[in-house]
Structures are given as C-alpha cells and as structure tokens.
Amino acid sequence: MAPEGSYTSDPDGCARVVEFRQMVQSLHGLGLKAVLDVVYNHTFAAGQRSRYSVLDKVVPGYYYRRMENGDICMSTCCNNTASEHAMCERLIIDDIVHWAKDYKVDGFRFDIMGHLMLSTMKKIQAALAALTLEADGVDGKGLYIYGEAWDFGEVSSNQRGVNASQGNLGGTGLGSFNDRFRDAVVGGSPFASPLFQGWVTGLGTASNQLMQEGMSEEACKDLLMEYTDQLRLSMAANLQDYHMHSFQGEMKAGREFLYSCQPSAYAKQPWETVNYADCHDGQTLFDQQGEAGVGLEEMTRVQQQQSCKHGVDLLTLLQATIVETELLNAQFFNADWGKVIMKARDGTSVEDRCRINMLGLATVALSQGVAFFHAGSDILRSKSLDRDSYNSGDWYNKLDWSCKSNNFGVGLAPGSKNNAAWPLHKPRLVSELQPSANLIKLCRHATV
C-alpha cells in the first residue's frame, strides 16, 4: 500500500514516499486539492505461485470472494476482494486512514465502490471523521468520498450483504457517479450502439441515420422527453424527495421516475450525486463512444430493461446494434460515452460539434450536486476515439495546453479494446472534423 515507484526519480528506497508528499504539498500550495483514486475491490493477481500475489500469501483464500464452486469471483475484471471479511475490511480502513494522515490527501475516489459492503464504507467515514488537525494534522470530516456505485455481479441486489451501490447510498453522504445524467445528456448507455443519441447529441431534433431507421419519430420524441425529465431531475441533484412535473404533466417525487425499471433518483443530499458526461480513461466528451465489449447476454438484459419503457421500437433498435457494431465479446467495462463525433448526424459541421461539446459541459457546470469534468474537455480533448486509454500511453492521452491541437485523428485507437469498432472509426477520423486552434481556444475561453 505504497506510492507507485515508477513515477519517482528513484523507485528503490524512500523516494516514492517523499516525492508523493512533496507533490501533495505543492498542490496545496497552489490552492488545489488532491483526490486519490483507490482500487480495493480487486487485485491483479491471487494464489500462491504468482510473483504479483500478496494477500493469498498472507492468509491463503481469506481475502477473496468466491463462487459456489470455490473459484474466485471475477465480475470486476479480476480477483474480487471480500470486504465482508473482517480483516479484509480492516486492511482497507487502515490503509485509507494511512493515506489521509501520512500523505494529507483530500478525498478518495473508489473504483467499483458497489463491490464493497456499505458497512465498510460507513466505517471508513467514521475513521476519517475521527481525524483532527490537532492530533493528526488533517481534518478528517472535510474529506470527500465518492465512487462507482454500480450494482452488478455476485454482490448485486445485496446478495452478499448490503453493498455500497446507488440504491443503498441515500443519506450516507457518500458520493456516486450519476449514470442517469450521463445517459440523458449523450444518449443510450454503455450497452447501446455508439450512435445512439441523447439530449445534446441530436435525439429528436437532428436524428442520425440509426435513430431515423430504428425508431419512429414519435418514439424518438417520447424518449427525448424522458431524457429531459431525467436530466432535469439530475440537475436538481437527483434527490429522492424532489418533486417536479413529468413531461406527461404528473407531479412526481424523484424516486417515482424510472431509469431502466429502477428508481431514477437515489440521493437524499446533493453531495451524494456526482454529475458527469465523460471521465477517467474512457472517451472524452468530444469523441467518446461505447462500442466493442458488450456481450450478447448482457445486451439482452439491457434490452429487456429498456423495452419495459419503450416497447418494440427500442428493442428492435438495440438488437440491430449487435449486428451493426459486431459486439461479440463479453466483458463489462467503464462507461463514459460522450459521442459528439460518433452520435451527431452526418454532415454536422465541426463548429456545431464544438457547440454540442460545450452544451454538454454546461449541463454539468450548472447542475446541483458535485460537478465532475474530464481533464481537457474544455479544450475539446480527443483520444482519437480510444474507449479505454488506461494503457495507451501519451500518444492517445496527450493534453495540448497550447491549444494548437486537440489530439483528434492521431491514428486508429489501439486494437486490444477498439478493433471491433474500427469500421465505425475509420470514416470519422478525418481532417474535416479536426477543430482549429481558434475553435479550441474559443471553447476554453467560454468554459472559463
């Protein structure tokens, strides 16, 4: 549980500790705060033989969650930890306190937080709240905790205990990424076609070919109205008890609006909602989409959820996307699908695409709750349509603060996560959609 050595001047010895502390101190000196992205829900390796395995060499088999046949659960991507086990929970809590006290970070962003138990997260809150400036050098009550509160896998619907998923967070003060906001703004979901449109990308007002052929005009307008309700609710912090008129004229509480057959609103306090349009290693708002990586089984599940609201039109459209985008490999993946390049109607000028980008950012900025911006969205940042840039290097993750380029069209995104979507990417990675330096600077100025 130490800082990563590859970022330091000397990976051997204590340089990583000293330089991380110096970094945080320097950020504080600039008036900035440092939030640490933590991953406690899984480990890269397990077992006795792997050189990268640690926990199984301490107490074999104890720290991991298992299926009925004894295999380690892998729903997060790899070896799922079991925070419902007392000493696994203790390890997580102690490590969080260590980072707060000894490195003076200002908050924590939990990767796949929904795979941790809610009781664990509450104990973390209590442990941090006990830290004081006088005794510990940090006011623990001022630290913000938020994360990905998705409900899936072996812990879904509280199968292994009450988990830290969206439906269980109301009133806890824990923040959660608001996928309702994201889907309404840009359209669709991680499991729908990359061309599926939303509120800012032209649904019902400038429909692209997919929407025109897959849904009737009336169905598009109804979905736009539902997205509008979803967005209005999210911009009011997605509060369960917030009352507003639906597009059908009914006065309803937030919890009575539906999102894929579940209550749309889950928060009881504004800081429990983190509104965003794009984030992390997903595509940027300018070009991101959710293409390859959805399995047929998962697609069918989402079709069933969506069709309970929209009937055959939407079900048929989602079925068509399986063929269209060759979604044949099954894996769950992060979803931040901005889709300005992919979703806007063919023929939309680069200037109008920039306006779409700025409108998306405006909805985030003007919403109640916690506004979350992907680094570089204000300068139209592109990763050349890369959907998972975690290991793509500087070529695709580049940020050009000089505003001469937004890094669009630097090549087809790496094939390991994007090859199934290359047929969609190739005709779109053209110079006509590259914004000029003047457009980039104009967008940055408008954001500031």
Q: What is the pLDDT of residue 321?
A: 38
Block residue for tokens 């199984």: 56
Q: On the CB side of 203, how many CA atoms lie within 13 Å of its CA?
A: 26
Percentage of the chain modeled with pLDDT above 90:
74
**Residue type at 444 in one-letter notation:** R
Tens-place pLDDT, residues 66-114 = 999 999 999 999 999 999 999 999 999 999 999 999 999 999 999 999 9
pLDDT value of position 308: 47
Neighbours of 232 (CB within 10 A): 17
User: Residues 23-53: pLDDT tens digits?
Assistant: 999 999 999 999 999 999 999 999 999 999 9
Q: How many residues does the chain have?
A: 448
- Report how far residue 357's alpha carbon sits from residue 377's, in angstroms, rounded to the nearest whole number: 8
- Catalytic residue from among 56, 89, 111, 226: 111
pLDDT greater than 90 at residue 414: yes
**Catalytic option among 56, 148, 272, 336:** 148
Of the pLDDT bands very low, low, confident and very high (cuts 50, 70, 90), residue 343 is: confident
Judging by DSSP bridges, how do beta strands 243-245 and 35-38 pair with one another?
Answer: unpaired
Q: pLDDT per residue over 371-382, tens digit each?
A: 999 999 999 999
For residue 250, pLDDT beyond 60: yes
- Catalytic: 148? yes
**pLDDT value of residue 298:** 34
Q: Which two tokens stand for residue 138?
A: 């940090």
| Distance of alpha carbon 227 from alpha carbon 188, whole angstroms | 10
Is this model's pTM higher than 0.85 or not?
yes
Rg (CA), the chain: 22
Does the pLDDT value for residue 210 go beyond 90? no
Determine the average pLDDT of the residues in 110-136: 98
